[in-house]
Structure 1
Amino acid sequence: MQIRISWPADHLTATLEDTPTSRALAKALPITASANTWGEEVYFDTGVSVEREDDAEQVVDPGTVAFWTDGDALALPYGPTPISRGEECRLASPCNLLGSLDGDPRRLATVRNGDPIRVELVAE
């Protein structure tokens, strides 16, 4: 499954694996939310509430599409966060892994706190 994440300055697509969380997210799309930034991570509320999956991780690769169950939010890290050790992408807590961004995740650096973000399914 592919989604498009758009904000005023740019957009990216992401490829999601077939997981319980990605299926729940897909049912809620399209969504529009207000972006939050935390170090080199963008996150935003989805209105979707799911349980933490068994394979949830806190340290992920840049460009991972993660779901922060503590905040019902998509978390899109592209570099270090305030709690990272070195250059790692360390999320606030373990997150469900949904997939990865297509293209350069550093494009997320153009997202500003409060920017409107839209997430929608890409037609297959």
Structure 2
Amino acid sequence: MRIRILWPAGQVTATLAATPTTEALRAELPISSTAVTWGEEVYFGTPVSVPRESTARQVVEPGTVAFWTDGDSLALPYGPTPVSRAGECRLASPCNVLGLLDGDPQVLRTVRPGDPIRVEPA
């Protein structure tokens, strides 16, 4: 499944794997939310509430599309966060990994706290 994430200064697409969380997200699209930044991560709330999957990870690659079950939010890390060690992308807690952004994740640098965010099928 592919999604498009849009904000005032840009947009990006992502390719998601078939997971229970991806299916729950698909059922709620389109989603409108408000961006929050945490170090080099953008996250935003969703109407999706799912349990943590057995494959959840806390350390991921830049550009990973993750679902933070503790906050019912999509998390999009593109670099270190306040809890990272040695430059890694470390999420606040283990998250369900859904897929990867298509292209350069550094485009997320243009997201500002409070920006409106929309997620829709691509």
Superposed CA offset, 1:62-83 (max 9, x none): 0000000000000000000000
Structure 1 residue 2 displacement after superposition: 0.2
Q: Does 1:19 align with 2:7?
A: no
Q: Kindly provide the amino acid, as one letter, of the partner of residue 75 in structure 1.
A: A
**1:45-56 superposed matches below 5 A:** 45-56=45-56
> 5+ unaligned residues in a row in structure 2: which ranges?
none
Match of 2:62 in 1: 62
Match of 1:94 in 2: 94
Match of 2:41 in 1: 41
Q: Distance in 2 between matches of 1:89 and 1:106?
A: 13
Superposed CA offset, 1:9-63 (max 9, x none): 0000000000000000000000000000000000000110000000000000000
Q: Kindly provide the amino acid, as one letter, of the partner of residue 13 in structure 2.
A: T
> 5+ unaligned residues in a row in structure 1: which ranges?
none
Structure 1 residue 86 displacement after superposition: 1.4
Match of 1:77 in 2: 77
Q: Distance in 2 between matches of 1:28 and 1:70?
A: 18
**TM, length-normalised to structure 1:** 0.98
Q: Distance in 2 between matches of 1:110 and 1:43?
A: 13
Match of 1:108 in 2: 108
**TM, length-normalised to structure 2:** 0.99
Structure 1 residue 97 displacement after superposition: 0.4
